[in-house]
Amino acid sequence: MSDTLVLVTGGTGFIAQYCMIALLQAGYRVRTTVRDLEREGEVRSYLKVGGVDAGDRLSFVATDLGTDLGWGEAAAGCSYVMHGASPTPSGDQVLEEDWIRPAVDGNLRVLRAARDAGVKRVVLTSAFGAIGVGHPPMKRPFDETDWSDLNSGSVAPYQKSKTLAERAAWEFIAEEGRGMELAAINPVAVLGPVLGEDFSHSIRLIKFMLDGQPACLKINSGFVDVRDVADLHLRAMTDPAAAGERFLAISGESIWMIELADVLRRRLGDRAGKVPTRVMPNWMARLAANQNPTMRAAVPLLGINLNATSEKAQRLLGWTPRSREDAIVATAESLIRLGLVGS
């Protein structure tokens, strides 16, 4: 196994870093991509926080999803690819196409490079946003047979980009894959111990509560620990049963934000003294959304149950995630430990 090389795209990403930790701990060699090689030191330091001193078992290639340059070099000699890199446009004036085209084209660039390099299997980090968005009230939980309804008018650009990018990946495998295998992981909101100041959007939910946001929106979400997401990627990479399959990653059932706040207060005691205790009425949230773009994005989700099931991953791959409560607490404790609360 020590000679097996795995490419992990987007090495500055939260999930990617935990995938690298899992691979290195399992004895694989890892190559990762970054847009700027000056961030190599940062990535290595984050992995050390996660318990791994990678040394020469980790190498870096500079490339970008927006160009073909570098992807052949990145994939060369790799047996597997874990592809989670995805462009994230910024700024209030970003168009929907600025999300979609780079995500779709980026997936196809990585898949072409992997196929041409003779990679056995690509594990794609997709999202729950490709499964459970845009649906009318319906029977829950969501599973891997569901796809987000892009015609509903309530799908945000990020979720639309993840849906179209994953669909494009499956179409590529069917039409141009030449025998290369694909598995997709669709996590819900990803929590877990942060490795430094650069962490995922989902973790900001915990940080904002610890920092004293005034109230919780009536939003429902599933949660999963990043360490379990990485473990599921590793299982999907090597298990024959994973070829051609999608896997939802969720721990237990979804919960409402006020329930998440209750967990923090109960488990952290005085350290959760600023965590909100009330729910903002939906009418107030809609009113605030007129002035707040972040709040505006949440309005379509108000009061919607987004429960999902990971039964398939548990049954086919033997995946056993830790509890959502432990994931919530581990996130909060890491933010406190690294001095990131109140900053």
pLDDT at 303 over 50: yes
Q: What is the pLDDT of residue 295?
A: 78
Instruction: Please state the three-class secondary structure of 109-173 as a single string.
Output: HHHHHHHHCCCCEEEEECCHHHCCCCCCCCCCCECCCCCCCCCCCCCCHHHHHHHHHHHHHHHHH
pLDDT at 147 over 90: yes
- Are residues 298 and 217 in contact, defined by beta-carbon separation less than 8 angstroms? yes
Q: What is the pLDDT of residue 93?
A: 46
pLDDT at 329 over 70: yes
> Of these residues, 120, 160, 162, 207, which one is catalytic?
162
> Rounded mean pLDDT of 154-174?
91
Model confidence band, residue 46 (pLDDT cutoffs 50, 70, 90): very high
CA distance 214 to 141: 30
| Residue-by-residue DSSP string for 297-335 | HHGGGTT----B--HHHHHHH---PPPHHHHHHHHHHHH
Sign of the four-CA dihedral 248, 250, 256, 258: negative
Asked about 312 being catalytic, the answer comes back as no
> Rounded mean pLDDT of 32-61?
96
pLDDT at 217 over 90: yes
pLDDT at 225 over 50: yes
Q: What is the pLDDT of residue 95?
A: 66
- Are residues 35 and 86 in contact, defined by beta-carbon separation less than 8 angstroms? no
Q: CA separation (Å) from 44 to 52, 68, 80, 207, 234?
A: 9, 26, 21, 24, 20
Q: What is the pLDDT of residue 151?
A: 86
pLDDT at 186 over 50: yes
Running DSSP on this structure, what letter comes out for residue 64? Answer: -
pTM: predicted TM-score of the whole model, two decimal places: 0.95
Q: What is the pLDDT of residue 2?
A: 66
Model confidence band, residue 343 (pLDDT cutoffs 50, 70, 90): low
What is 5-199+222-250+307-322's CATH number? 3.40.50.720
In tens, the pLDDT along 68-119 reads 999 999 999 999 999 998 776 655 546 667 777 788 999 999 999 999 999 9
Query: How many Cα atoms within 13 Å fall on the side-chain side of residue 132?
Result: 28
Number of neighbouring beta carbons within 10 Å of residue 15: 21
The per-residue b/e assignment along 308-329, b for 16 or more CB within 10 angstroms, e otherwise, is bbbebbeeebebebbebbbbbb
Q: What is the pLDDT of residue 94?
A: 64
pLDDT at 1 over 80: no
Q: What is the pLDDT of residue 160?
A: 87
Q: What is the pLDDT of residue 102?
A: 83
Q: What is the pLDDT of residue 266?
A: 97
As a whole number, the mean pLDDT across the chain is: 92
Residue with tokens 């795209």: 9
